[in-house]
Structure 1
């Protein structure tokens, strides 16, 4: 008869400690979270993120938003309730709700610019001014002449708003026909000098840290009755004069130019303007800016592009490849200077109702930020924060549209750089980033603009996934909803954006399995077993 070995009593504590250690290790090899998970249902898509390889950097204030100059001057602009240009009132910048909402994007960049910037006259005295004769009858479309007066109170209110919401200001200065010598066509600096001097006299003067000479200078001759053909070689002289003025009156501020408007299918001409201007004026440009809208709204003239706003066009891979080419070429022309996509939205000419104000736009925006960051643009200015169909907040109630909530999630979970990410884009649009406020961790941003659930099998190059959790932006599967929720919770009436805990992500064999519901956007924060070197201090 065989006898079982007897374990001496004095060895039991050692064995129990070993067993506890083993059980703890088993627990850590799971997801490091006591909330149990199982493999989520859905079509699986394999995604690879390299936590050691940056594919592009992000500015600290990479989330930008815009007010159109017309919203200050009372100019004609796109109404969200009409297809016509109508006089645009200034949003209530003192609104506690508006300020509370926009502060969720801090630190951010606020741009004041647009077509009417090149028609605006700054009133050098306190109060209202008459528009000088030289600033009248300057638009090619004479039926839509704008009043065009920018007051000292306008600048004061803009600066106070920016300070309240944690933003810095990019201000676009008139390079249109008004301040030009009618005989030589040369730009004259007197009104711009008065504007910059007043801005720098304010107590929050340092917020005006970027000055922009003109809006879309490559098409000023299309928009305005100009006394000269504004080719790059001629504009270089204006830019030199502006740079001298800005550096004298606002030392330390940056000059952002040329802000060329890229027309889809005609982008090579717009790229040539950017290249040619940089060739002769590189020393007078600190930040290279450009403008691109993914598609055109029904309001836009056919000559801009045949690409009308729709889900199909926004995610058309051949169209995206063209946009990637534009971005890559601008970055190459910048040759090391920062590149900002200084005006962008899913559809031009005020945006497209039923697209730009819906969850579809939020899913597109998340993909667009990743694409443009990968191709060299480090900051994105959404046209607009409020106003038109592309405004991220409802113009009447300031209720957040889905794209605004996507912006908030970017601020909470993304910073520093976009990471090299590979995987099929057929069902899922995925980009890896460094996780905000979590050194060494990674955030995967996943857009699913389809009617079926998709599961992203995420592998990190060179390391396993230690734990992960996710946040979902959705609207009960409705891609065209104008309101959305984060983890099932909608923003409060007072402007509070919910910040609920994330949901645990299933881990298996060192990979994360992230379920993305139909027509939803997910931010998945992933902790690697080995800290991401591209995201470490």
Structure 2
């Protein structure tokens, strides 16, 4: 297995949406939280053009919760991205006085010092570096409609004063969907070009060590033929010229049931969730944005700063073991492509989250993430290909073991077992579930769950002799070869 590349030490990362931090209307879980009262639809939708019943009002997330911090820290080091559509119009109340009852004119939400201090403290406690974005709504514009950095300067200064650091940022979330993202009416690629020039000047002055990411577009590539109607990222890049430190994009293979009424938007089903066609969508989108990167920002690292099962909060089965196949296959595939960071949406909000937002119970994809973090190092190896389109193979250097190799073997076939021939003894970590759409997952036959004191279970492998290894139907298997002696891993 030869070395084919490497990824950032914080490759596996996650999002905490800005609207979680401030409180507000976010994607409503399909399962109504216990004790929750019926909520009337808002007078106006939270996102123009979408049914307001797709959202639920929520209080600000408690980022000081010990269990949440423990679960996040177990995935560290990581990046925590605090952004999202709602961040595009969030006002930063830079004072210790009570925030106004309603946002100032030109804004849609309010972020307080205390809330942002909570983000800084959470990042420090969980060994996460902060990625964010800035407001671009009417409230931050001059008389000519150009973006001004007044709010951004206050935000950056307070972050530093609170003991934090903004490691990386996009100007704003998904500029190619500016029309539904809080940007002024009629916003176009030329306007983005002017704003980005002002943003770069601000960053050079106030945040010289910050990684400038961009453009952070979504929904073109593989999905363009299904009804994409936003701004062209190519036009955006032509208007801005070079200037990013990392080329970022977002990816969802479709929209969830909540947004099923969106004209032309693709959807999926639990029956399709393990198919080669569904799992390959992440590669198609990566190829699209890689081509744009090569044309406009050659040599800049690729960052996938937002991704999940489907947009609009995920489908009901996103919370089950079924989506762990997409999650881990995406990590393996994008690492081979050279993507440096993959930030999952979200850590603990709505159905596509790694952690249940009500109970803070880890979901199956969280356990998959924990196994990845334990075993898969930053050096990417060539694992070869399987004779079956349903078996996906990936390999990295084994984390923390010089010369060691880790292999990830995903059998997405629901009925057929396959055999893998291994030349050396290994430790085997097999993830399976009796119910693919359920929340329970077993590691080597033992259900993974938190202890009485919220302690994480031991992620231990089963000693396995060299030779044939059976890959059970609908299973995910990690193999650790500590004594591989791989020269690329020393």
Give TM class, smaller chain: 0.7 to 0.9
Cα drift, residue 271 of structure 1 = 11
* Separation in structure 2 between the aligned mates of residue 480 and residue 132 of structure 1, nearest angstrom: 41
Structure number with larger C-alpha Rg? 1
Q: Which has the higher contact order (CA 8 A, sep 6+)?
A: 1
Instruction: Provide the secondary structure at the position in 2 that maps to 1:378.
Output: strand
What do the CA deviations read for 1:386-427 (whole angstroms, capped 9, x no partner)? 010111111111110000111111100002133222113433
State which of 390, 410, 418 in structure 2 corresponds to 1:427: 390
Q: Please list, as runs of the form range in 1=range in 2, the aligned pairs for 1:288-307 lying within 5 A after superposition.
A: 288-303=247-262, 306-307=265-266
CA drift of 1:500 comes to 4.2
**1:262-299 Cα distance to aligned partner (Å, 9 max, x none):** 25521797998434444454543111111111232100
C-alpha distance 312-272 of structure 1, shift in aligned 2 (>3 A): farther
Within a 5 Å distance, the mapping from 1:250-261 to structure 2 comes to: 250-261=207-218
Distance in 1 (CA, whole Å) between partners of 2:323 and 2:452 is 22
Q: Matches of residues 505-516 of structure 1 in structure 2 within 5 Å? A: 505-508=464-467, 513-516=468-471
For 1:78 and 1:216, the matched residues in 2 are separated by: 18
Indicate yes or no: 2:76 matched with 1:95: no
Rounded Cα–Cα distance in structure 2 between residues aligned with 1:316 and 1:285: 35
Distance 1:121 1:160, change over 3 A: same
Q: Confirm whether residue 366 of structure 1 aligns to residue 328 of structure 2.
A: yes
Equivalent in the alignment of 1:391? 353
Q: Give the structure 1 partner of residue 17 of structure 2.
A: 68
- What pairs with 1:129-528 in structure 2 (closer than 5 Å)? 129-130=99-100, 131-136=102-107, 146=108, 148-181=109-142, 184-203=144-163, 205-206=164-165, 208-224=166-182, 226-231=184-189, 233-263=190-220, 264-266=222-224, 273-303=232-262, 306-334=265-293, 335-353=298-316, 355-420=317-382, 421-452=384-415, 454-458=417-421, 465-475=423-433, 477-487=434-444, 488-491=446-449, 492-508=451-467, 513-527=468-482
Q: Aligned to 2:313, what secondary structure does the other structure show?
A: coil
Confirm or deny: 8 A CA contact 1:331 1:376 kept in the other structure.
Answer: no
The answer as to whether partners of 1:189 and 1:245 remain within 8 angstroms in 2 is yes
Q: What SS class does the counterpart of residue 294 from structure 1 fall into? A: coil
For normalisation by structure 2, the TM-score amounts to: 0.87
Q: Distance in 2 between matches of 1:67 and 1:98?
A: 12
Q: CA deviation at 1:458?
A: 4.0
Instruction: Tell me how large the CA RMSD over aligned residues is.
Output: 2.5
Secondary structure of 2:319 counterpart: coil
Displacement, 1:446? 2.0
CA distance change for structure 1 residues 273 and 450 in 2, over 3 Å: closer, same or farther?
same
Residue by residue, what CA displacement relative to the aligned partner does 1:76-114 show, whole Å, maximum 9, x if unpaired? 111213662121222221111111111110101100011
- In terms of mean alpha carbon deviation, does 107-116 or 298-307 score higher? 298-307
Contact 1:466 1:527 in 2 (8 A): no
The runs of 5 or more residues in structure 1 that have no matched partner are 1-50, 137-145, 460-464
The answer on 1:118 being equivalent to 2:78 is no
Distance 2:229 2:335 in 1: 20
- Sort the Cα spacing of 1:287 and 1:308 in 2 relative to 1 into closer, same or farther, 3 A: same
